[in-house]
């Protein structure tokens, strides 16, 4: 029986644990928090699981479906992993102290974290009242705290949009949602049901240029940005608020991965993976937001299951074809497709760089076009999926995925 150690019990780790156990492995699941489910616990809104369960579940309900299936799995919560190296995982928790486990496979499922004010460099004062949207979500939904009375949201990513609605329902006023880009990076449905429903104005091509306040936030200065995304002088205006939520992107949490010497893709900031989710280090797999920031949890679970199955069976090494992003495409996962594998079809996941009403996804082998699929409405906020046959991939030198807009 193969031993599989999984780091992280969010949606990716939970799905990986169940799949690995079902494939006959002995599974050890390590989770830093006191409870299983990861970020799903604070995502109390619905819309999860539509593809997987044909239902619109809330985050806690979606997590619950997986937690129910965790029998015959060794689970340690409140456990922080400190290091992974060649099959060994060193972790610490209040009960076992410092311990090291050696297993046949390790699955990285640490998820991602939010970009902060420091990452985007907003000038101004440093008062209380500036939160990342996810931190605010946790204070509100898990700890039952009121975070402010009048808020501005910077960034129109899904978490920011969801928090706009959440704060409004809880009696706060959301003065504006401000987005640097000329389009929202959130799902369309969230623009409708979180902003339009409550008449919250969305300022596209705008950003926060100054944070104003002594002890508590008093106002933010907002300005229009030009095509170079730099503030246009003279367009500044002030919005009084006591709360600023930042929804300005997520970064895969790969400190452990980097320290282990596993190759990181500069496009995703996640590990380079094969189509079975193995990283460049044999026996170490990765899945979920640690690999690429997903839009829908359903696909996180799918990825977790793929990693879980592969880790349990220990896929053989072999020749592979590299996959890379080309014009109009930000990144592609997996970065490598093995010539031999369990499935005949491999799905490529990626995001386009800008919105496109009508266009095509085109895959090249060098200069030669090998696959073309028409698409309506592509947007960077939504992950694109493109199935490709393993046979086609295995005969190619290097695959380049591009997006072409119809003119």
Give the interface with another protein as residue ranges (CB under 8 A): 34, 41, 44-47, 50, 56, 58-61, 64, 67, 141-144, 169-171, 187-189, 191-193, 197, 295-296, 377, 382
* Cβ at position 41, least distance to another protein in Å: 8
- The angle formed by the CA atoms of residues 184, 187 and 190, to the nearest 5 degrees, is 95
* Cβ at position 329, least distance to another protein in Å: 20
* Cβ at position 141, least distance to another protein in Å: 6
* Cβ at position 167, least distance to another protein in Å: 12
Rounded distance between C-alpha atoms, residue 202 and residue 184, angstroms: 9
Contact 263, 279 (CB under 8 A): yes
Pairing of strands 284-286, 105-108: parallel
214 or 357, CB closer to another protein? 357
* Cβ at position 46, least distance to another protein in Å: 5
195 or 329, CB closer to another protein? 195
60 or 127, CB closer to another protein? 60
* Cβ at position 241, least distance to another protein in Å: 21
97 or 171, CB closer to another protein? 171
184 or 315, CB closer to another protein? 184
How many CA within 13 A on the CB side of residue 406?
11
Among 346, 351, 361, 347, CA closest to 400: 361
Rounded distance between C-alpha atoms, residue 290 and residue 32, angstroms: 15
Contact 323, 332 (CB under 8 A): yes
* Cβ at position 53, least distance to another protein in Å: 12
The CA–CA distances, whole Å, from 250 to 151, 232, 247, 275, 379 equal 21, 27, 8, 23, 17
Among 4, 33, 2, 32, CA closest to 16: 4
149 or 189, CB closer to another protein? 189
Rounded distance between C-alpha atoms, residue 402 and residue 407, angstroms: 16
Rounded distance between C-alpha atoms, residue 53 and residue 50, angstroms: 6
82 or 192, CB closer to another protein? 192
58 or 280, CB closer to another protein? 58
Among 92, 72, 78, 99, CA closest to 4: 72
């Amino acid at each position: 029986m193969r031993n599989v150690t999984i780091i992280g019990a969010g949606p990716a780790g939970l799905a990986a644990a169940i799949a690995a156990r079902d494939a006959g492995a002995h599974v050890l699941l390590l989770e830093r928090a006191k409870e299983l489910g990861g970020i799903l616990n604070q995502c109390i809104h619905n819309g999860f699981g539509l593809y997987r369960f044909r239902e619109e579940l809330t985050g806690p309900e979606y997590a619950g479906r997986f937690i129910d299936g965790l029998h015959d799995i060794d689970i340690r919560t409140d456990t922080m992993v400190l290091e992974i190296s060649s099959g060994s995982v060193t972790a610490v928790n209040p009960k076992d102290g410092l311990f090291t486990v050696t297993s046949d496979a390790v699955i990285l499922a640490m998820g991602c974290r939010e970009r902060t004010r420091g990452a985007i460099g907003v000038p101004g004062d440093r008062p209380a009242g500036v939160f990342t949207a996810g931190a605010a979500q946790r204070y509100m939904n898990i700890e039952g705290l009121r975070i402010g009375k009048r808020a501005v949201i910077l960034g129109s990513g899904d978490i920011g949009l969801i928090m706009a609605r959440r704060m409004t329902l809880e009696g706060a006023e959301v003065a504006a949602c401000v987005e640097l880009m000329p389009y929202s990076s959130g799902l369309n449905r969230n623009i409708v049901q979180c902003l339009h429903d409550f008449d919250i104005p969305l300022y596209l091509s705008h950003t926060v240029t100054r944070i104003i306040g002594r002890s508590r936030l008093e106002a933010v200065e907002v300005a229009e940005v030009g095509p170079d995304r730099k503030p246009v002088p003279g367009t500044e205006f002030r919005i009084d608020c006591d709360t600023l939520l930042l929804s300005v992107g997520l970064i895969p949490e790969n400190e452990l991965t980097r320290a282990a010497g596993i190759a990181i893709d500069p496009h995703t900031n996640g590990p380079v993976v094969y189509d079975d989710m193995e990283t460049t280090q044999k026996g170490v797999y990765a899945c979920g937001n640690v690999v690429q920031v997903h839009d829908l949890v359903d696909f996180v679970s799918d990825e977790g299951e793929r990693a879980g199955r592969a880790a349990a069976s220990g896929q053989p090494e072999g020749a592979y074809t590299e996959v890379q992003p080309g014009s109009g495409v930000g990144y592609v996962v997996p970065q490598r497709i093995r010539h031999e594998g369990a499935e005949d079809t491999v799905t490529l996941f990626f995001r386009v760089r800008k919105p496109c009403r009508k266009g095509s996804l085109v895959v090249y082998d060098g200069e030669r076009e090998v696959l073309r699929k028409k698409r309506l409405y592509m947007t960077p906020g939504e992950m694109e999926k493109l199935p490709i046959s393993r046979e086609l991939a295995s005969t190619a030198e290097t695959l380049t995925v591009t997006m072409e807009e119809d003119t």
